[in-house]
Amino acid sequence: MNLPTIYLLDQEPGMVSVWALAFEGIPVVHVVQDDFAGFMDVHPQVDCIVAPGNSYGLMDAGYDAAIISYFGEGLKHAVQRKILDDWFGEQPVGTSMSIEHAGITLVHTPVMRVPSVVRDSMVVYHAARSALIEAMRRGVKAVVLPAFGAGCGKVPHDVVARLMAQAYRQLADPPAELSWHYAHSLDLPDSLQHALREVQSIPLVDRSDFDYSDLDGLKRERLISRGYATEGDFE
């Protein structure tokens, strides 16, 4: 299976700029700043789109809503029908499935069960990787990917870009054999590894005595995901 031509699409200049850096020098990846309809109107060669929504195919907001506005309600109903038939009514986060509709392949890859802040940013890596694998299995020629987790998921743009680039590079250069050395080499990008090591050094103290105000976004995310704090502690 070969990787298709990849378009990375977002309207936010900040997302587009960090994508451009993360995918610099990769000729099959094109970064585009536009809305979904505007992009599709001028890229007729794209035969696969990826929807980054929720586990139930409720495509009524954000990027998903833009897809449905462009292709019609029938696409949403087809996605929900496949989730009911193939996933017993709930598609797991980070997995991908695909359907054919109106001459195009739609890959549905939920990044959250229901709309919410993404606690584990590694879902971005898993979502991007599984979406590309599904596109390759379908044999598509050109696919457009969203910024997984960057909308209501609140994953920082630079984290999204690094993890999506890592997913691409893993598929572009897969291993000939599997080992623990290889598995551990793919943990996280180096800059994220450093940030997480810094967070791991935070002592476990009573929440009432801890000053959360000095923590950056990654530290907050880790504390919340491990149950040491809640969103309310940072308001």
**Residue 66 and residue 150 in one domain:** yes
**Residue 92 and residue 207 in one domain:** no
**Residue 121 and residue 196 in one domain:** no
In which residue are the tokens 């969103």 written? 231
Burial class from Cβ neighbours inside 10 Å (0-12, 13-18, 19+) for residue 227 reads exposed
CA angle 87, 90, 91 (to 5 degrees): 65
| Stronger pLDDT, 214 or 172, i.e. the higher one | 172
pLDDT in tens, 11-51: 999 999 999 999 999 999 999 999 999 999 999 999 999 99
Q: How far from 140 is each of 38, 52, 70, CA to CA, in Å?
A: 21, 18, 20
176 membership: H or E segment, kind and range: none
Domain boundary among 143, 172, 201: 172
**Residue 194 and residue 139 in one domain:** no
Q: In what order do the strands lie in the sheet with 5-10?
A: 29-33, 5-10, 142-145, 48-51, 104-108, 97-101
d(CA 149, CA 160): 7
- The reported pLDDT for the residue numbered 217 is 64
**Residue 168 and residue 193 in one domain:** no
| Residue 85 placed within a domain | yes
Total number of domains in the chain = 2
- The reported pLDDT for the residue numbered 188 is 54
**Residue 124 and residue 66 in one domain:** yes
pLDDT in tens, 53-111: 999 999 999 999 999 999 999 999 999 999 999 999 999 999 999 999 999 999 999 99
- The reported pLDDT for the residue numbered 153 is 94
- The reported pLDDT for the residue numbered 229 is 57
d(CA 179, CA 235): 44
**Residue 164 and residue 80 in one domain:** yes
**Residue 77 and residue 113 in one domain:** yes
Helix (H, G, I), strand (E, B) or coil at 143: strand
- The reported pLDDT for the residue numbered 186 is 72
| Residue 122 placed within a domain | yes
Look at 52-56, 195-199, 229-233 and tell me which has the smallest mean pLDDT.
195-199
- The reported pLDDT for the residue numbered 185 is 79
| Residue 178 placed within a domain | no
Structural domain that includes position 102: 5-172
**Residue 125 and residue 208 in one domain:** no
Residue 214 has pLDDT above 60, yes or no: no
d(CA 157, CA 145): 14
**Residue 41 and residue 131 in one domain:** yes
d(CA 163, CA 64): 21
What one-character-per-residue DSSP string does 7-48 give? EEEES-HHHHHHHHHHTTT-TTEEEEES-HHHHHHH-TT--E
Helix (H, G, I), strand (E, B) or coil at 151: coil
Task: Supply the DSSP symbol for 180.
Answer: H
